[in-house]
Every structure is written in C-alpha cells, then in structure tokens.
Amino acid sequence: MSRDIAGTNNDSPLTRELFSAGVYKPNQGRIVRQLTCLAIWIIVSLACWALYSSLRGTDMGSGVASGIPTVLVALGVWTGFRLVNWPRFADFLIAVEAEMNKVTWPGKDELVRAAFVVIFTIFFLAISLFVFDFIWQFVFSTIGVTM
C-alpha cells in the first residue's frame, strides 16, 4: 500500500515489459545490471551453441540448423536486456549494488592472513581425518573385521 501512495508501484508484468524499449533508471545500478545482462547473454549463447552443435549432426538443412539457434540467440539477447530493465528486477539489482558499496573489503595483508588460516585449517583437518582413518583401519583389522 505504501508503494501505491508513494507512486513507486513497479508491478508491471514481464510480458508487457518485453515489448517496450525504454531503460528503467539508467544511471542507477549500472555495473550490476550490465554484469547480470552479460551473464544472461553468455548463458544464452552457450546454450544456443550447444543446440547448434547437436542440430548440425542431424539431417536437417544447414539453414534450419543455424537459423533456429540464431533466432534463439536474438530472442535471448533481447530478453536479457529487457529483464535487467524490468522495474521489479532492476530495483533489486540497484539495491544489490547499493549494498555492495557498503561492504568493507579486506586489505591485502588481511586477505593473505585469512587465506593462510583457511589453508592451514584444511590441511590440519585432512591430516586428522587421515590419522583417524588409519587408526580405525588398524583397530578393525586387529579384531578381524574386513572391509
């Protein structure tokens, strides 16, 4: 209800948004929106390449085997662009970028120290599990249990 009063009700359906060409809040959340759009385009392109590879080996004509993936790439690129400009999703991505700007990222020294702690912990746990496994194998083989 507060969205309706404030005039920021962005509940336009995606199907209607797919047929518009406007850019929603073009100066907000640009980096996250561009990277999201790029990721969608890469996924669509890889899927269409796999489709083309599988259609190429069939007895379809070469025009059909290359035409279907080409049309799907074009539709996927347009859908990816429109999806990041859909008000509901765009507002989410704008909020994500705003939150990411609030994060305090560690410096190089802190990052190196934390990496060493993680690597040491992993090796310590691996060695501990190896020792426990060796001990239990010895105990079970001593009492005659075979594996």
Q: What is the pLDDT of residues 114-146, one digit of tens each?
A: 999 999 999 999 999 999 999 999 999 999 887
Count of structural domains within the chain = 2
Please indicate, yes or no, whether residues 49 and 95 belong to a single structural domain of this protein. yes
At 131, is the secondary structure helix, strand, or coil? helix
pTM given for the model: 0.63
- Distance set, CA 2 to CA 9, 39, 90, 98 (Å): 9, 33, 19, 22
Please indicate, yes or no, whether residues 70 and 134 belong to a single structural domain of this protein. no
Residue 129 structural domain:
105-147
Please indicate, yes or no, whether residues 82 and 120 belong to a single structural domain of this protein. no
Please indicate, yes or no, whether residues 121 and 76 belong to a single structural domain of this protein. no
